[in-house]
Amino acid sequence: MDESTALTPRQRDILDAIANGAPDGSPLELVIDLDGPLDPDRLRRAVEEAAATFDALRTALLPVPGFRIPRQVVNAEASVAWTETDAGTAMPLAPAAGRVFRAQLSRQGTENAALTLAVSPLVCDRGGLTRLVAAIADLYAGRTPATGIGLARFTAWREELDASDDAAHGRAYWAGLGPETLTDPRLPSPAAVKPGAATAIRSIPPQTAAGLGSLGQPVDAALQAAWWLLIARITGEEAFRSLWINDPRRDYDMLADGIGAFEDTLPLALRLPKDETVDGLLARVASMMDAHRDAQEQRPDGVLSPSAVTFVLTDALETITTGSLRWTPRSWPAPRPAGALTLEVAMAGGVPVGIALHADPARIASAAVEALADQYLAALAALPGHRTGRVADLPLLAERDLRCHAALTGPALSAAPTIPALLSGLATSRPDAPALQDGTRRWSYRELDELVGRLARHLHRDGVGPGQRVALTLPRSAELVIALHAVMRAGGAYVPVDPDWPKARQAAVIAAAAPCRVLDADDLTALLAQPAPDAALPVATPRDAAYVLFTSGSTGTPKGVVIEHGQLASYVAAAGAALDLEACRRFALTSTVAADLGNTTLFGVLAAGGCLVVADETTMTDGAGFARFVADEAVDCVKIVPSHLAALIDTPAPVLPRTLILGGEPTGRPLLEAIRAAAPRCRVFNHYGPTETTVGVMVHALPPDGPLPDQLPLDRVLAGSRVLLLDPAGRPVPIGAVGELVIGGAQVARGYLGRPEDPAFRADPERDGGRLYRTGDLARLLPEGGLQLVGRADDQIKIRGFRIEPAEIEAAILALPGVAQAAVKVWGEGRLVGYAVPSAGAALDPAALREELRRRLPDAMVPAELQPLDRLPRLGNGKIDRAALPETARSTAGADEAAAPLETFIAGLFAGLLERDRVGLAENLFDLGGHSLLVIKLVSRLRKRLGVEVPPGIVFDHPTPAGLARALRAEETEPGQLDRAAA
């Protein structure tokens, strides 16, 4: 055998990938259809002669004494694994041990056959495989094939270059490139992982190819630039690393006809500023490609990445004719190395003729691959007409993208009856049907309508009418339901004020609402005890206000959203159809009416003519209690925040209704798995919409079978509404890209109370008289249709389903004595942390400050911790750098003396739920950031482990591990029972 030579960087990369379990070492295969009269013996001799001619096909990678890794050794004689099989017999894909080349002939008739060539990627690349087909055809025809230099000479030449004076320049070039300072682009992940590969194949139209030749730069630079520009637009990243598989046969004439593993994988450090012109980008990419080629022989090892995005040019597969025999290669296998996404552009005579886009289906969905292929062709076609324009403005939308956007417009909606009209109509059509239940108290539609009418006449007599507002300070109850219906029937708009809010918050909302009346439980009882005046009531019009909901405000104060009767009526009609509410009979009211999450059941019940069942606060803070409520009351429809539901069903025997409507925050796979395990036939809907667009405008029905997504998407727009997903310039985003949700249609609110010109609302240029609302929510357009929420365009956050503006919490912290600056940030799964900088000479007591915040803010807005800082980190523009805010200590407790098993177990539960290293026996759950949802989980886990009933109230009364342990022991039926269970 000949002397050994070193491996190339690409060969070393492949060996490393094989060692790490990647499939990069599997054979490269190409199938050639043979049409015409064939001489099999002659073909076999041609294959064997090719193996003898090209040293790559006689190469083995063997350990050589004195070297750490294998080296290449060329054997003197060829060894070809040749097999012939009948049509339909499968040929094994695994290469014979110790062989790098095999050929299989499958006869499919007298003049039809298929020749399958397989080579190891360690000795031959795809360009070499193309040339091998041509060489075998030449040898079959009796011609001498072109050879070029062999693999052994190529690797020796690489070693010589690496030892030359120019090598230092090449190594310095790669060292200065810095791809290791960047990350792979974050591609949209698939909803569910599917086996196999995802490939999209397209032809490049001749007019597109001709246009690329007019750009004043090499065509391959334009092909690459368009690809990286597309990746930047889809991912939203301006800087990332990637790979370019370059075939040096295009760079060196001596390699042009060679067969071997010549291709190299070159790392790229890409930066694509949005404001750069297309011409500027093309010139820069062309220059980068030239520089990379000049230094390709010195590129470093270890550039491969399983999440890489790659570009490669390849030879188009062309038919060869030898006499009457036609040799037609089939499609290529995916390029090596196989990363997350690889674009392969086929060239014929220097002209691009087609693309194949290959993806790892575990990292990107097959539908997304199809969309990307179409978008790439759109980008290529757009380049010539946008040379002086910004790269951010290059059109990328293809027909598929336009169809997805068109599907975000709901069907037409007929005029719907107002809520007062719906209730009155049901009292006439279904007078004796159950309408409302609160505990053991029940009302039919006739009885409910009579109560609502009586209270409405009292309110109207006292001045309530169109344009007037009534604040309701009642707890969730039948009385609250009666009161809000009565206000609307009197012509007014109700303003819910949660009595559990701190007094300061209640006062602030009432002051901002300026109601003509504040109605509490005592007022309601007194009014209903009086004879009702005999007076006609106004008829609500679609333009009259129905209610005003106050949400957290970015200016530091709450703001009131005015919802009109027409908007509410449209929602009830459209949601009733989209959520199939007519299939339900008993609807639960489980959340505060001070947020509109519960309006789906509060008013949706009227679309179905069902019964509204009020759940008390105890039921909604106890998993076992919730299960009893659903079962005992035969509830078949619940609308709830996912995190709240997750806490409630964290119990040994969860019970779920037939229909679950989830909203207020994203729903992930763990909760979906728990739902499916507890109630496999439960209908699950995802529902989305901000308060400003009347409860919700999009839904998704989870299929009852099949794989569960990592996060529930949204794919159906309610009738009468439309959803736009726009980039910062106001243009529709391509599939896979993130944009801001803008909502139009019949459900867009009147606006904010006292702020008629708020910029969040604007005229709809495509709908006469229509209006649009900028939500600030970010979403990704999905290739299969619909969208997926991904975050916010501003600092707004969601805590346990409540929409919160950090500015309002920061304003409350700033109002505390001794605080000069403030900031808040959400950590982990919704853990809100506040930061305070003391004023000169002040010393801050975090516990005292949090206690004061509890008196001013709703529970969801009170930070779990308040951390004093010397200063707040700032960005160059002076804004708070929230990414640089420090995470608070995960443990504040000192060492406890030896504790009994029960105390130790409870302290461990506290620590786990609070995401802390440990919690001291005397530390207060709520001082450490505990809240009602954590209490639900805590109670469920205590019951499960200890086997005893644990009422949720005991945790609120005894919020330390030591105190809770004492309280639980007081209920023991025998001494030591709980310690034994906890041990």
- List, for residues 348-397, the tens digit of each pLDDT value: 989 999 999 998 877 888 889 999 999 999 999 999 999 999 999 999 99
Pairing, β 434-438 against β 611-614: parallel
Check pLDDT > 60 for residue 877: no
Domain boundary among 884, 912, 944: 884
The 10s digit of each residue's pLDDT in 823-852 is 888 877 667 888 988 888 888 888 888 888
CA pseudo-torsion sign 873, 877, 880, 886: negative
Length of the chain: 983
Q: Is 550 helix (H, G, I), strand (E, B) or coil?
A: strand
Task: Please check whether residue 566 lies inside any domain of the structure.
Answer: no
Task: Please check whether residue 933 lies inside any domain of the structure.
Answer: yes
Task: Please check whether residue 243 lies inside any domain of the structure.
Answer: yes
pLDDT value at residue 842: 85
Residue 195: which pLDDT band, with cuts at 50, 70 and 90? Answer: low
CB 289 within 8 A of CB 228: no
Q: How far apart (Å, rounded) are the C-alpha atoms in residues 976 and 266?
A: 68
Q: Bridge-partner residues for 741, per DSSP? A: 725
pLDDT value at residue 65: 82
Give the residue among 814, 831, 832, 834 at the shortest CA–CA distance from 823.
Answer: 834
Residue 983: which pLDDT band, with cuts at 50, 70 and 90? Answer: confident
The amino acid at residue 909 is L
Domain boundary among 383, 403, 423: 403
**70 and 110 part of one domain:** yes
Q: Bridge-partner residues for 203, per DSSP? A: 354
Q: Kindly report the CATH number assigned to the domain that includes residue 142.
A: 3.30.559.10
Q: How far apart (Å, rounded) are the C-alpha atoms in residues 127 and 133?
A: 10
Q: Which long-range contacts (CB under 8 A, 24 or more apart) does 953-960 make?
A: 953/618, 955/925, 959/924, 959/925, 959/926, 959/927, 959/930, 960/921, 960/922, 960/923, 960/924, 960/925
Task: Please check whether residue 433 lies inside any domain of the structure.
Answer: no
Domain boundary among 155, 179, 213: 155
**866 and 927 part of one domain:** no
User: Is this model's pTM higher than 0.85 or not?
Assistant: no
pLDDT value at residue 1: 43
Task: Please check whether residue 581 lies inside any domain of the structure.
Answer: no
Q: How far apart (Å, rounded) are the C-alpha atoms in residues 321 and 315?
A: 18
Q: Kindly report the CATH number assigned to the domain that includes residue 859.
A: 3.30.300.30
Range of the domain at 397: 197-403
Look at 372-381, 638-647, 788-797, 942-951 and tell me which has the smallest mean pLDDT: 788-797
**331 and 386 part of one domain:** yes
Check pLDDT > 50 for residue 94: no
Q: How far apart (Å, rounded) are the C-alpha atoms in residues 232 and 428?
A: 60
Q: Kindly report the CATH number assigned to the domain that includes residue 921.
A: 1.10.1200.10
Q: What percent of the chain has pLDDT over 70?
A: 93
**256 and 357 part of one domain:** yes
Residue 86: which pLDDT band, with cuts at 50, 70 and 90? Answer: low
**201 and 141 part of one domain:** no
CB 764 within 8 A of CB 745: no
**844 and 946 part of one domain:** no
Q: How far apart (Å, rounded) are the C-alpha atoms in residues 354 and 338?
A: 20
**88 and 203 part of one domain:** no
Q: How far apart (Å, rounded) are the C-alpha atoms in residues 300 and 820?
A: 52
Residue 92: which pLDDT band, with cuts at 50, 70 and 90? Answer: very low
Q: How many helices (H) and strands (E) does the chain have?
A: 27, 39
Task: Please check whether residue 664 lies inside any domain of the structure.
Answer: no
Give the residue among 902, 900, 868 at the shortest CA–CA distance from 885.
Answer: 868
Give yes or no for a cis peptide into 337 (omega within 30° of 0). yes
**880 and 905 part of one domain:** no
Q: What percent of the chain has pLDDT over 90?
A: 50
Residue 97: which pLDDT band, with cuts at 50, 70 and 90? Answer: very low
Check pLDDT > 80 for residue 334: no
Question: Chain-wide mean pLDDT for the chain?
Answer: 88
What contacts 812, CB < 8 A, 6 or more positions away? 556, 853, 856, 857, 861
275 CB-contact burial (10 Å; exposed 0-12 / middle 13-18 / buried 19+): exposed
Q: Kindly report the CATH number assigned to the domain that includes residue 383.
A: 3.30.559.30
What's the rounded mean pLDDT across residues 579-599? 96
**215 and 333 part of one domain:** yes
Pairing, β 738-745 against β 721-726: antiparallel
Task: Please check whether residue 41 lies inside any domain of the structure.
Answer: yes
What's the rounded mean pLDDT across residues 28-44? 93
Q: Bridge-partner residues for 545, per DSSP? A: 564
Q: Say how many domains are in the chain.
A: 4
Task: Please check whether residue 725 lies inside any domain of the structure.
Answer: no
CA pseudo-torsion sign 350, 351, 356, 357: positive
**258 and 218 part of one domain:** yes
**815 and 870 part of one domain:** yes
Q: How far apart (Å, rounded) are the C-alpha atoms in residues 694 and 569?
A: 10
pLDDT value at residue 284: 96
**245 and 313 part of one domain:** yes
